[in-house]
Amino acid sequence: MVRADSVPMQLAFREICTEPGFDDYLQATLDRISAIESLGRTRELVMKDLVGGKGKYNITSRNAKGLVEKTFTIELPELEEDAADDD
């Protein structure tokens, strides 16, 4: 919902919103904005080499200045031999 400062601007908004394909274009734009915003807030860590392994891994997250923000430990359980052979 957008409200313009003037009647002519509000009429222009309404005209643009009624054009064919506007809803699809708007949704695509919102999806792209969401994707761009999420790039700065999330980090994905893929640990393919650890799958099926065992052990304890300490992970430290640092900010741009190198200061520790978070530290956590991931402990992988040993897999049973039958489950490991199924892969």
Contact 76, 53 (CB under 8 A): yes
Do residues 34 and 49 share a domain? Answer: no
Domain membership of residue 7 as a residue range? 1-42
- Tell me, what's the pLDDT at 37? 75
Do residues 51 and 35 share a domain? Answer: no
Q: Model pTM greater than 0.85?
A: no
Cα distances (Å, whole numbers) of residue 63 to 38, 40, 42, 44, 70: 17, 12, 13, 16, 9
Do residues 36 and 56 share a domain? Answer: no
- Tell me, what's the pLDDT at 83? 52
Instruction: Provide CB contacts within 8 A for 31, sequence distance 6+.
Output: none
Do residues 84 and 52 share a domain? Answer: yes
Over 80: is that where the pLDDT of 28 sits?
A: yes
Do residues 48 and 86 share a domain? Answer: yes
Do residues 38 and 48 share a domain? Answer: no
Domain count, the chain: 2
Share of the chain above pLDDT 90, in %: 25
